[in-house]
Structure 1
Amino acid sequence: MEFSSQAGVYVIDTQTLPVHKKKVRPLSKQGEYESRNLWRHVTNALRLNDISTATEHKSLLEGKQREEEKHRKDKGLPFPTKYFQRSGEISSWVYKGQSSSSKAN
């Protein structure tokens, strides 16, 4: 993998990096709109190599998300966020909680 920054171009050989197991709450403890919960039917179908069922569930999910966005737009409602809020007119985002540096003080 190659990326660049102001300091230069870097290449990382991802094959040599250690693999870390994800720490994810069980689906039963996830909220309705958490990603793994939303996409569980697509994921299960893909694990079974059932592409048509995965595609069907993906289309249903994305269609529902489009309808929800249209509803918010029609009503002038903002997208509900949990961790960030829009700040100023330039559409920057600010973390709603305390930063790790402010917790130490």
Structure 2
Amino acid sequence: MGRFIKRPIQPLQQSKVDQALVKMIATDFQPFSIVEDRGFRAYTEALDPSYVLPSRGTISKRMLPNLFEKVRADIEEQIKTAPAVCLTTDCWTSNTTTSYMSVT
């Protein structure tokens, strides 16, 4: 009978899958609304029926900003401990005479 009862996902696993989801959205430039797509919901359900997809509002207002802050802090720490930092710049003008400058 236990195989017919939908067991709730453990909080640690929910968090782990949430983090993987927001990283996928950021890495692959997916829209936040992907979590509302029927096919994506079916795919997620097939992988783990107990996983509860976050809303696109939760992703955009809480999860992505949290990921951004973590990545920013990681980069800041790497720069602080780096023996040297090198920068390059590139300047160009578009066909509409808009000027751009990038720093990498």
Fold-level match, TM-score > 0.5?
A: no
Higher share of residues assigned strand = 1
TM-score normalised by structure 1 residue count: 0.30
TM-score normalised by structure 2 residue count: 0.30
